[in-house]
């Protein structure tokens, strides 16, 4: 070991006479990190990524590299002799060189290559993405294994990732605890029968043994709500954010068989207002984070995919959301000049054409519709006991371009009300544990669920829900 004196000498000697050069290993940077170096002065770096363009001129070679860390590519400049034979659009590469200020207006920095190595070649003739071609979201949907390398899908997936972190941050900042609710469950929370049943693929029957793997029929969850209600009875404010499954046979632009749902449950919540406030705050807070963290990615959608969406979103963010009872909503629809395919009638569900009209009627500002007919909604919603026009304390948030984004309610916390409703549905035995929650320190409580893909569609203006999830699952399609 060198003592402090020795080190001092070595340093002195080094400062008077040139030190023998040590080989410096170039630092591996992500493209985004390289683009953000404030004042590049020729540091040796290395980047790895995929080639977005190759332009070979007589005495200079330009290569653009992207590694998914940003929408912007890093420009590599090199002398033509460094061009490997297999360097093409789509190939994966590792480039080592000096990061310098760029003389070109279009970028601040560039990488002067000293070595370009093709890690994996790409057959451009059969590669589904084409150089300098803007391919539609619909075209890209055919290639779920490749489309994440396109500008639009990679921007979308970065936004999705930031929005996910922002959802978690929102709940943490507001005193909610995160719960992993189960994916396999024995209940049908929504009672709509849109369940996927879970059984082992290989059905080896043991005589005398229960035929069900779990002894009871088990399903992929349609909602984590009932499990969250259990947890809200101990932790007061809880949330979950995970995959949710519905076997509804819909090919619509707003339904998936597997989607992500953000769900929150709040004990001691006495009014729907408490629930609506959380929904509105969640929407606005998460969106503001996304706008500030991914401005370029969002711009791609607002400029090229859904022109006009930026102004629409601003309108949603700057105005307080509107509230309207279901009964008022039906009145508005009945007075409308528009002819609907489904005639609006008190007691009937709102169709997407009705939802669209209501949002338009509210000046394209999100609108909470509350107090729905008792007979339309699941067993767990709190009875408003309001006589002839019998309603429950339910609330849906309708948003421009999408329709229903969130569904929530106050929960029936009174044991006698719940018991008689379950009895009528023949579910008393199944939900014995749920009834018990109302016997052991019950509290008024409520919560909601927000469809995460519908949220992304709403802020970005993307028309089809299949384009805002990495691997869409819907009837007759489960690619990969």
| Cβ-based nearer residue to Mg ion, 54 or 369 | 369
Q: How far is the CB of 406 from Mg ion (least distance, A)?
A: 8
Question: With respect to ligand 4AD, which residue has the nearer C-beta, 52 or 246?
Answer: 246
Nearer of residues 40 and 407 to Mg ion, judged by Cβ: 407
Residue spans of beta strands (DSSP E) within 202-247: 219-220, 237-245
Give the nearest distance from C-beta 451 to ligand 4AD in angstroms. Answer: 2
Q: How many residues bind Mg ion (CB under 5 A)?
A: 1
In which element (H, E) is residue 146 found?
none
For the bound state, the minimum distance from the C-beta of residue 226 to ligand 4AD, rounded and expressed in Å, comes to 8
Between 86 and 349, whose beta carbon lies closer to ligand 4AD? 349
Q: CB of 118 within 8 A of CB of 51?
A: no
449 binds, among Mg ion, ligand 4AD, none (CB under 5 to 8 A by kind): ligand 4AD
Q: Using CB under 5 A, which of the segments 101-109, 255-263, 345-353, 407-415 binds Mg ion?
A: 407-415
Binding of residue 449 to Mg ion (CB under 5 A):
no
451 binds Mg ion (CB under 5 A): no
- Long-range contact set of residues 63-67: C-beta below 8 Å, sequence gap at least 24: 63/87, 63/93, 63/95, 63/113, 63/116, 65/31, 65/93, 65/95, 66/31, 66/154, 67/30, 67/31
> For residue 199, what are the CA distances in angstroms to 189, 264, 314, 430, 469?
19, 29, 47, 20, 26
Binding site for ligand 4AD (CB under 6 A): 189-190, 223, 225, 246, 248, 255-256, 259, 261, 263, 404-408, 447-449, 451, 453-454
Comparing CB distances to Mg ion, the nearer of 297 and 412 is 412
Minimum CB distance to ligand 4AD, residue 379 (Å): 11
We find the least distance from the C-beta atom of residue 258 to Mg ion, in angstroms, to be 17
d(CA 157, CA 155): 6
- Minimum CB separation of residue 181 from Mg ion in Å reads 18
- Which region among 79-87, 116-124, 400-408, 412-420 touches Mg ion (by CB under 5 A)? 400-408
DSSP 304: I
Q: Of the two residues 90 and 407, which places its CB atom closer to Mg ion in the complex?
A: 407
> CA–CA separation, 86 vs 93, rounded Å?
10
Nearer to ligand 4AD, 110 or 453 (CB): 453
DSSP 70-100: -SSPEEEEE-GGG--TT--TT-EEEEEEEEE
The residue of the chain with the least Cβ separation from Mg ion equals 407
96 binding partner (options Mg ion, ligand 4AD, none; Cβ < 5 to 8 Å by kind): none
Which two three-digit tokens encode residue 129? 């993405």
Instruction: List the single partner that 400 binds among Mg ion, ligand 4AD, none, CB under 5 to 8 Å by kind.
Output: none
Q: Which residues have C-beta within 8 Å of that of residue 107, sequence separation ≥ 6?
A: 35, 72, 75
**What does each C-alpha distance from 119 to 74, 97, 144, 191 come to in angstroms?**
17, 16, 23, 52
- b/e sequence 320-342, b meaning 16+ C-beta within 10 Å: ebbbbbbbebbeebeeeeeeeee
Neighbours of 203 (CB within 10 A): 8
CB atoms inside a 10 Å sphere around CB 105: 6
Question: Toward ligand 4AD, which CB reaches closer, 63 or 189?
Answer: 189
Interaction residues for Mg ion, span 118-157 (CB under 5 A):
none
For ligand 4AD, which is the closer residue by CB, 47 or 392?
392
> Rounded to the nearest whole angstrom, what is the least distance from the CB of residue 226 to Mg ion in the complex?
15
Helix axes 452-460, 272-293, angle to 10 degrees: 60
Binding partner of 263, given ligand 4AD, Mg ion, none, CB within 5-8 angstroms per partner class:
ligand 4AD
Rule CB under 5 A: say whether 407 interacts with Mg ion.
Answer: yes
From the list Mg ion, ligand 4AD, none, partner contacted by residue 246 (C-beta under 5 to 8 A by kind) = ligand 4AD
Task: Report, in Å, the least distance between residue 187 CB and ligand 4AD.
Answer: 11
| Minimum CB distance to Mg ion smaller for 97 or for 407 | 407
Q: Which does 459 bind (CB under 5 to 8 A by kind): ligand 4AD, Mg ion, none?
A: none
The tally of CA atoms less than 13 A away on the side-chain side of residue 167 is 25
Return the range that interacts with Mg ion (CB under 5 A); candidates 89-97, 216-224, 268-276, 404-412: 404-412
Taking the complex as a whole, the smallest distance from the CB of residue 407 to Mg ion amounts, in Å, to: 3
E strands, 92-236, are 92-101, 109-120, 177-178, 184-185, 219-220
Give me the half-sphere count of Cα atoms (radius 13 Å) on the Cβ side of residue 365.
12
Which CB atom, from 327 or from 352, has the smaller least distance to Mg ion? Answer: 352
Q: Cα-flanking dihedrals φ and ψ of residue 425, to 5°?
A: -90, 0
Q: How far is the CB of 384 from ligand 4AD (least distance, A)?
A: 17
Q: Residue 2 — φ and ψ, nearest 5°?
A: -80, 135
Kindly list the residues in this chain that would bind Mg ion in the complex (CB under 5 A). 407
């Amino acid at each position: 070991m060198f003592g402090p004196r020795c080190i001092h000498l070595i340093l002195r000697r080094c400062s008077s006479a040139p030190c023998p050069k040590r080989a410096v290993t170039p630092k591996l940077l992500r493209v985004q990190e390289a683009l953000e170096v404030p004042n590049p002065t020729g540091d040796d770096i290395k980047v790895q990524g995929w080639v977005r363009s190759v332009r070979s001129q007589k005495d200079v070679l330009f290569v653009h590299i992207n590694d998914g860390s940003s929408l912007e590519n890093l420009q590599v400049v090199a002398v033509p002799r460094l061009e490997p034979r297999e360097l093409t659009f789509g190939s994966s590469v590792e480039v080592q060189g000096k990061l310098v200020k760029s003389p070109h207006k279009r970028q601040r920095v560039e990488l002067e290559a000293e070595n370009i190595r093709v890690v994996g070649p790409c057959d451009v003739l059969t590669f589904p993405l084409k150089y300098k071609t803007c391919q539609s979201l619909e075209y890209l949907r055919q290639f779920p294994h490749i489309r994440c390398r396109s500008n639009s899908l990679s921007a979308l997936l970065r936004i999705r990732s930031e929005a996910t972190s922002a959802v978690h941050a929102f709940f943490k900042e507001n005193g909610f605890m995160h719960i992993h609710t189960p994916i396999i469950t024995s209940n049908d929370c929504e009672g709509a029968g849109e369940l996927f049943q879970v059984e082992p693929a290989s059905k080896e029957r043991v005589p005398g043994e229960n035929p069900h793997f779990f002894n009871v029929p088990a399903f992929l969850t349609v909602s984590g709500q009932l499990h969250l209600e259990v947890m809200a009875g101990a932790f007061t404010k809880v949330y979950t954010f995970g995959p949710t499954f519905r076997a509804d046979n819909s090919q619509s632009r707003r339904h998936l068989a597997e989607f992500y749902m953000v769900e929150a449950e709040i004990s001691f919540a006495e009014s729907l207002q408490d629930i609506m406030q959380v929904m509105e705050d969640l929407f606005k807070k998460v969106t503001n984070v996304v706008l500030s963290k991914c401005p370029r990615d969002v711009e791609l959608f607002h400029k090229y995919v859904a022109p006009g969406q930026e102004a629409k979103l601003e309108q949603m963010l700057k105005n307080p959301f509107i509230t309207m009872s279901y009964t008022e909503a039906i009145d508005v629809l009945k007075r409308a000049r528009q002819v609907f395919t489904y005639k609006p009638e008190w007691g009937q569900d709102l169709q997407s054409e009705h939802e669209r009209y209501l949002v338009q009627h509210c000046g394209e500002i999100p609108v909470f519709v509350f107090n729905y007919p008792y007979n339309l909604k699941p067993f767990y919603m709190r009875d408003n006991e309001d006589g002839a026009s019998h309603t429950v304390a339910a609330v849906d948030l309708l948003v421009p371009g999408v329709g229903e984004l969130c569904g929530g309610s106050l929960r029936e916390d009174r044991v006698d009300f719940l018991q008689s409703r379950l009895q009528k549905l023949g579910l008393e035995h199944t939900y014995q544990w749920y009834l018990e929650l109302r016997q052991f320190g019950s509290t008024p409580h409520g919560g909601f669920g927000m469809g995460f893909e519908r949220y992304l569609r709403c802020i970005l203006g993307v028309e089809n829900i299949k384009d805002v999830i990495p691997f869409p699952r819907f009837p007759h399609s489960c690619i990969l």
